[in-house]
Amino acid sequence: MAAAALFAACGQQESPQQPVDPAQVVMNNILSRKSVRSYTADTIPAQVMENLLRAAMAAPSGRNIQPWSFVVLTDKSRYDTIFEGNFNLNMFKQAAAVVVVCADTTVVRPPRENPDAPAVQQPNGIWRDDMGAVTENLLLAVEAHGLGACWTACYPYPDRMEPVKQALGLPATVVPYSVVPIGCPAGDEQPKDKWDPSRIHHNMW
């Protein structure tokens, strides 16, 4: 698939080639992102899904441990079981794909500052912070491709995590952190303006 087509997964027109300001491109991407909760029946090309996961895996990681894994779901016949009791179930069923963002809390790597030393785990449960960055990277890539998605929490709710763990056969050390339905937007969701200068403090609170 041509690169241009990858960045217009839902059939939008490509804009004519113009000089690109990298800062503006990134700002537009971040400020355009919004939660999308209804989707058309269009599917997501495999190459686009790879792009999305490539962006997710580019997230920063405490001590560069990279504890993430992903379960990409498209077989909706099992969603009643996987997402039993989850109020987002109908949204998941509409989406072309649902990505379960997982953390393996036992992944080890040599310390970033000393690659020859024995491998270590991520300290202090900071895998949670990695997972937030991963999920946001995924959402931004979704937006960049003209797709829509919604971050839904799985961790730390036992009633959401248990059915996912059981139905997907996750190892005991793997935590399903977030569940992200992705598809072509069916509606016209707009980004919210959250800019609030009063939240900014200079030098002291």
Ligand X SMILES: Cc1cc2nc3c(=O)[nH]c(=O)nc-3n(C[C@H](O)[C@H](O)[C@H](O)COP(=O)(O)O)c2cc1C
AA identity, residue 29: N
The tokens describing 25, both together, are 């491109």
Per CB under 6 A, 137 contacts ligand X: no
Provide the CA 26 distance to its chain's centre, in angstroms. Answer: 17
Interface pick for ligand X out of 35, 40, 69, 94 (rule CB under 6 A): 35
Question: Among the candidate windows 40-48, 67-75, 95-103, 146-154, which touches ligand X by CB under 6 A?
Answer: 146-154
Per CB under 6 A, 170 contacts ligand X: no
Of 89 and 120, which has the nearer Cβ to ligand X? 89
Of 37 and 165, which has the nearer Cβ to ligand X? 37
Of 66 and 152, which has the nearer Cβ to ligand X? 152
Per CB under 6 A, 201 contacts ligand X: no
Per CB under 6 A, 93 contacts ligand X: no
Q: Helices 22-32 and 127-144 sit at what angle, rounded to 10 degrees?
A: 100
Instruction: Give the angle subtended at the CA of 90 by the CAs of 88 and 92, to the nearest 5°.
Output: 70
Question: Among the candidate windows 1-9, 33-41, 50-58, 93-101, which touches ligand X by CB under 6 A?
Answer: 33-41
Per CB under 6 A, 151 contacts ligand X: yes
How many whole angstroms separate alpha carbon 47 and alpha carbon 188?
25
Interface pick for ligand X out of 61, 66, 137, 152 (rule CB under 6 A): 152
Per CB under 6 A, 153 contacts ligand X: yes
How many whole angstroms separate alpha carbon 108 and alpha carbon 102?
15
Per CB under 6 A, 6 contacts ligand X: no
How many whole angstroms separate alpha carbon 66 and alpha carbon 157?
23
Per CB under 6 A, 88 contacts ligand X: yes
Per CB under 6 A, 34 contacts ligand X: yes
Per CB under 6 A, 199 contacts ligand X: no
In the complex, the residues that contact ligand X under the rule CB under 6 A are: 34-35, 37, 88, 150-153, 192
